Structure 1
Amino acid sequence: MESTAARISQAEPVPSQPPCDDSALAVRLRAGDEAAFEELVRSAGGRLLAVSRRMLGNEDDAQDAVQESFLSAFRSLEAFDGRSQLTTWLHRIAINVCLMKLRSRRRKPERQIGDLLPEFLEDGHQRNPSRPWNPEGDPGIETSELRAIVRARIDELPAPYREVLLLRDIEELDTEQTAEMLGMTPAAVKTRLHRARQALRALLEPLFTEVQR
């Protein structure tokens, strides 16, 4: 009999299929029904792969995260209480797996967030105010290139700010969901997100200012 990991690997994630009856599927999964497991991979695999790609920005890491997410879900089926959709539960597991992968990566010494934030004068005006720019409207930048640039700059943010930005702006979780995932208060999420966005803009601005000259 094939291992669970092998079945996941062979079941290349495809665009997610319409959801089935979650309660019935969970019962079948707990009973060890292999067909149910394959059905779960087919129905949710595409979504989990997309999430992992966005969070990790690396195809190999994303594929590994999908496998780890399904394995984690399979081991903790008893924790699924049916109050949310099975796919929603899997989504949260995938995000947790991706966060752990991000935190385990060996990184260069991180810059302090204060080094990336704009400076303000005593009168409240910003020192060296940002020039307006619209990178999406610039014909010199391809969409794929823009995504790669933005992703690379997100990775330069200090980890706590990068995580909040990924969850709120990339995964589009709401403030309360993000707070729960990261063990923070909603107020702390809002503050950290604001600073993360400011820092990201500061990192991106020199690139797009140069393009627009």
Structure 2
Amino acid sequence: MSRHARGDDQAFNELVRRHRERMWAVAVRVLGDPEEASDALQDAFLSAFRAAGRFRGEAQVSTWLHRIVVNACHDRMRRRMVRPAVPTDDATLDVLSNERAKATASTPDPSGRSDSAMDVRAALDKIPDEQRMALVLVDMMGYRVDEAAGILDVAPGTVKSRCARGRARLLPYLAHLRNPERPRDVTSPRGGDGRS
């Protein structure tokens, strides 16, 4: 980072090369959409490039970059929530629905892993952003609580409580993964067949 601040043109490229894959994984897991993640990652690296001169070295470069990526993802999630819906006519909806059905049918996953991953993604989308980000960093990316706290710029106890609350909220949506005989319904917080 100091080489970049001193004007070394290749230093930031090396930093991006070294951390790109890990940052991409964080963005995809937080946002759930590779295109959104790509845009967030681009925003994050641009922000990091602009802010490199202000890097004080109080945290590791990787922690600093993670914080920037998580913030870029959070910004995109906020924008996505306030973005107005685009009106679509019935004919367009039918075409989109048929295209999605064709795409799904043409790429079966005999292992069933993609269904589980989609269930986890759908369940993660139903919990608050703060809990989702903590769970992604700790449970999916394998960061220690103190590292996640540094990335999220919160106390370690806050990360622990967000993870605990997030896991509790996810459990009803994902109970069928522990008990495969149980019917799946990730739209219901009970995770079952919708019956009470």
User: CA offsets, 1:172-211, max 9 Å, x none?
Assistant: 3333444455565444443332222122110112576464
Q: Which residue does 2:39 correspond to in 1?
A: 64
C-alpha separation in 2, matches of 1:169 and 1:188: 15
Q: Which residue does 2:87 correspond to in 1?
A: none
Unaligned runs of 5+ in 1: 1-25, 108-139
TM-aligned CA distance change 1:100 to 1:177, over 3 Å: farther
Q: Percent identity?
A: 38
| Structure 2 residue 34 is the aligned partner of structure 1 residue 75 | no
Q: Which residue does 1:152 correspond to in 2?
A: 122
Q: Which residue does 1:161 correspond to in 2?
A: 131
Amino acid at match of 1:51: V
**For the Cα contact (< 8 Å) 1:103–1:159, is it kept in 2?**
no
TM-score normalised according to structure 2 size: 0.64
Amino acid at match of 1:166: V
Q: Which residue does 1:23 correspond to in 2?
A: none
What SS class does the counterpart of residue 172 from structure 1 fall into? Answer: coil
The structure carrying a bigger helix percent of its residues is: 2
TM-score normalised according to structure 1 size: 0.60
Q: 1:174 aligns with which of 119, 125, 144?
A: 144
Aligned-residue CA RMSD (Å): 3.0
Amino acid at match of 2:16: V
TM-aligned CA distance change 1:48 to 1:192, over 3 Å: closer
| Structure 2 residue 174 is the aligned partner of structure 1 residue 204 | yes
C-alpha separation in 2, matches of 1:96 and 1:171: 17
| Structure 2 residue 75 is the aligned partner of structure 1 residue 100 | yes
**For the Cα contact (< 8 Å) 2:30–2:132, is it kept in 1?**
no
C-alpha separation in 2, matches of 1:47 and 1:69: 13
Q: Which residue does 2:193 correspond to in 1?
A: none
C-alpha separation in 1, matches of 2:5 and 2:73: 25
Q: Cα distance, 1:54 vs. partner?
A: 1.5
**For the Cα contact (< 8 Å) 2:27–2:37, is it kept in 1?**
yes
Q: Cα distance, 1:99 vs. partner?
A: 2.3
Q: How many residues align?
A: 157
